[in-house]
Chain A
Amino acid sequence: MDKIKAVIIDDEYLARQIILNYLDNQEFIEIVAECENGFDALKTIQEMNPDLLFLDIQMPKINGFELVEVLDKKPEIIFITAFDQYAIKAFEMNAVDYLLKPYPKERFLQAIEKVKHRLASRSAAPDEKMTRLQETLDENPARIDRVITRMGSKIHVIPIDKIHYIESQDDYVMVYSETGNYLKEKTMKYFELHLPPQEFLRIHRSYIVNISQITAIELYGKDTHLAMLKCGAKLKVSAEGYKKLRERL
């Protein structure tokens, strides 16, 4: 069997050192890169196509989960975190490997063993497991204040107050923002749940709008209206959406 190619992603030098130390004398695993943040990690993963990630969750600018979200092909992942009650619950529910800092060598090697098994038998594709984990995490009703998107190997962090509106496009949504338009693999329902309701409103089956962007609402046909946005867009407003908007404005 080939050596397992692994990447360590953690913003703390000493935290990366532990993994290197624990892996000393192991012949079946090779650390091909170390990354300090999600931006570097994305490039590295796309270039190196590793089999395994050691992934810290709390990192600057984008966190571990946000990185996983924008990965096309998901390698095996061992999550590492210091303290995050919600994430730990999500890991347990989906039987994803995770290590709690500080962790002993035995526990670390156990996690590696599991990965080895899975890679050898190719059972339970990691993609599937990650999708389930992502679903569990998405159910957490915590508000988001940024949306992470990816174009090629570049990650865009869109602060939600820069979003003009969101349009549904089959399995994706298109996020229209001050800095450009970005495709994101999430549902309208996800955004409805996570964007702050004081600032965003679902005005139509296909649209969630940033309320502060609306300049005028015009009648359009019998039951529908059009919302005029500062950016020039005109969005259909359903009867129900119109009712909600009227309450808000």
Chain B
Amino acid sequence: MISRIFKNELISVYFLVWTAVAVVHFFLLYQLYHLQLLPSLLDSLLFNIIFSLFGIGFWFMVEYSGTQNLTQTDSIIQHSTLCAISVTIWIGAGNFLLKSMLSDHLVYLSFLSNTLTFRIFLGIMYYGMMISVFYLVVSYRQLREKREYESLLTTQLREAELTMLRSQIRPHFLFNSLNSISALTLNDPGKAHEMIIKLSDFMRYSLTFQGESMSTLEKELYHIKLYLDIEKIRFGPKLMIDYQIDEDCLQWPVPSMILQPIIENAVKYGVYEATSASEISVTARLTMPTLMLLSVSNVVDPDIVTRKGTGTGLKNVERRLETIYKQRDLIKTYNKDNRFFAQLYMPSNG
């Protein structure tokens, strides 16, 4: 803590001000009151050094109490008490030391006792001024910190928004799809037309999606189909899809866009990284009257060395499920027989 005080440039300013005060103090006594050199010097040095050291204590008090919220009366009581105590100690200690050091300077000693009242007022004034300046410094510092913190928050917020936006737009998917469309317009305008409409529907749905909204499995599957149809146009026979959806699951409530990241994951590892035909399977069935099991799986080529994804897609799904259903472990992933499985458990109570 001590090293922190002295590293601070404020401390040098502080002692500079006190030096100036001491110099003025000395000249007043020496020139105006025509006291002798030694008493003037000692008087000025002792009183000002003592008070300046007290001041360091005051600073920590202000710095500490600046972080807590005292009521107005409390802080008035606190300061009056502190002021009274410190001024008493200051004058007591000063008088005692000067009297013992300058016992033979009778003129000075009478001057010392005559100026007692004046010194009390001086002490109170010094105290008041110091405390006010300290409060100013502390509140200025807090203001600056607050501003820095706020700008940090704004930056983080903006970054989060950008990531969100990018994940909704999926630039890779979008530009590759547009490229396929541009090929189709040359050879197969009918199919190009179909793909544009599917892409638009899909983009609209993912762009209007909001964090907490609920949907039905049927509606979700409709958009998953749009997405997979588009990918199928891109990848042709390399991508095969197998849906096994039980009739009674269709109206089941599911969080909107909850399947999308899982399907994208399956396409990424099962299709983007595969050199041969690959199948993605999507199944839904009720395991209990109140629980639906959604399962997505894709073929994993054992030779594939993929860039390890950050796993943020699946983590986000997990986090969303936790907030919505207030239940953990609703998602399970595992590898079996060269397939990767992602299973979601959906309770009926949303």
Query: Are A and B bound to each other?
Result: yes
- Give the interface of A toward B (CB within 8 A): 11-15, 17-18, 21, 36-37, 39, 58, 60-61, 82-83, 100-102, 145-146, 157-159
Please determine whether A102 and B308 come into contact, CB atoms closer than 8 angstroms.
no
Main secondary structure, interface of B, reads helix
Give A54 to B322 CA distance when docked, in angstroms: 47
**Residue from A18, A58, A61, A159 within 8 A of B182 (CB atoms):** A18
With A36-B275, A145-B308 as contacts: A12 and B186 at CB distance below 8 Å: no
B292-315 interface (Cβ within 8 A of A): 303-308
Give A145 to B234 CA distance when docked, in angstroms: 27
Please determine whether B179 and A60 come into contact, CB atoms closer than 8 angstroms.
no
Residues of the B chain whose Cβ atoms lie less than 8 Å from the Cβ of A18 = 179, 182-183, 186
Minimal beta-carbon separation of A46 from chain B (angstroms): 18
Please determine whether A14 and B234 come into contact, CB atoms closer than 8 angstroms.
yes
User: For residue A84, which residue of chain B has the nearest CB?
Assistant: B172
What 0/1 pattern do residues 179 to 204 of B give for CB contact below 8 A with A?
Answer: 11111101100000000000000000
- Give the interface of B toward A (CB within 8 A): 171-172, 174-176, 178-184, 186-187, 233-236, 272-275, 303-308
Please determine whether B273 and A60 come into contact, CB atoms closer than 8 angstroms.
yes
**Residue from B172, B235, B308 within 8 A of A82 (CB atoms):** B172
Give A13 to B272 CA distance when docked, in angstroms: 13
Residues of the B chain whose Cβ atoms lie less than 8 Å from the Cβ of A39 = 275
**CB<8 Å pairs between A and B, sample of 11:** A12-B235, A13-B236, A15-B179, A15-B180, A18-B183, A58-B272, A60-B274, A82-B172, A83-B174, A101-B176, A102-B181
Minimal beta-carbon separation of A218 from chain B (angstroms): 33
Please determine whether B182 and A102 come into contact, CB atoms closer than 8 angstroms.
yes
Residues of the B chain whose Cβ atoms lie less than 8 Å from the Cβ of A102 = 175, 178-179, 181-182
With A39-B275, A146-B305 as contacts: A12 and B176 at CB distance below 8 Å: yes
Please determine whether B179 and A157 come into contact, CB atoms closer than 8 angstroms.
no
Residues of the B chain whose Cβ atoms lie less than 8 Å from the Cβ of A157 = 303, 305
Please determine whether A82 and B176 come into contact, CB atoms closer than 8 angstroms.
yes
User: For residue B179, which residue of chain A has the nearest CB?
Assistant: A101
Please determine whether A100 and B175 come into contact, CB atoms closer than 8 angstroms.
yes
**Residue from B171, B175, B184, B305 within 8 A of A14 (CB atoms):** B184
Please determine whether A21 and B178 come into contact, CB atoms closer than 8 angstroms.
no
Residues of the A chain whose Cβ atoms lie less than 8 Å from the Cβ of B187 = 17, 21
Please determine whether A21 and B183 come into contact, CB atoms closer than 8 angstroms.
yes
Give A60 to B181 CA distance when docked, in angstroms: 21
Residues of the B chain whose Cβ atoms lie less than 8 Å from the Cβ of A101 = 175-176, 178-179
